[in-house]
């Protein structure tokens, strides 16, 4: 039971505690989170969508979790995952080139970001 103030609302500390409980569950261990990122990525989700779904602040956080998980795999599994991710990035490149063809500066920014993603696979 929470304490109540003069206006019959819970005291601020109690409200804050209740709000935190409703917005966030227990934190997942990093390894589980990394594995969940891989599972979502394998289902075709973007890093941005994964970050949003898992409560991460940025898409790059989801990418870093993917890379951590990939590096923790056995050689054969890591190689297969790297190959599948490479195919996804190739498909993304095709979409970028067709979508942004009329905006060369925008296309170049997106291709630079894509190349950074490719570098994380090495």
Whether 85 and 55 share a structural domain? no
Burial class (CB in 10 A: 0-12, 13-18, 19+), 52: middle
Least confident segment among 16-20, 44-48, 84-88: 16-20
- Are residue 39 and residue 51 in the same domain, yes or no? yes
Evaluate if residue 79 carries a pLDDT over 90: yes
Same domain, yes or no, for 15 and 68?
yes
Instruction: Note whether residue 3 is domain-resident.
Output: no
Q: What is the DSSP letter of 4?
A: B
Q: Which domain holds residue 33?
A: 10-72
21-60: per-residue pLDDT in tens?
Answer: 444 445 567 779 999 999 999 999 999 999 999 999 999 9
Q: pTM of the full predicted structure?
A: 0.73
User: Quick one: DSSP state of residue 3?
Assistant: -
94 found inside a domain: yes
> Are 17 and 65 in a shared domain?
yes
């Amino acid at each position: 039971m929470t304490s109540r103030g003069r206006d019959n609302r819970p005291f601020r500390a109690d409200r804050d505690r209740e709000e935190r409980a409703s917005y966030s569950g227990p934190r997942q261990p990093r390894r589980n989170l990394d594995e969940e990122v891989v599972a979502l990525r394998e289902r075709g989700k973007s890093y941005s969508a994964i970050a949003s779904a898992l409560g991460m602040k940025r898409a790059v956080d989801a990418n870093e979790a993917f890379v951590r998980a990939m590096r923790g795999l056995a050689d054969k599994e890591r190689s297969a995952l790297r190959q599948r991710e490479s195919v996804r990035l190739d498909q993304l490149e095709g979409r970028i080139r067709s979508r942004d063809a009329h905006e060369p500066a925008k296309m170049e920014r997106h291709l630079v970001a894509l190349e950074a993603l490719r570098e994380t696979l090495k």
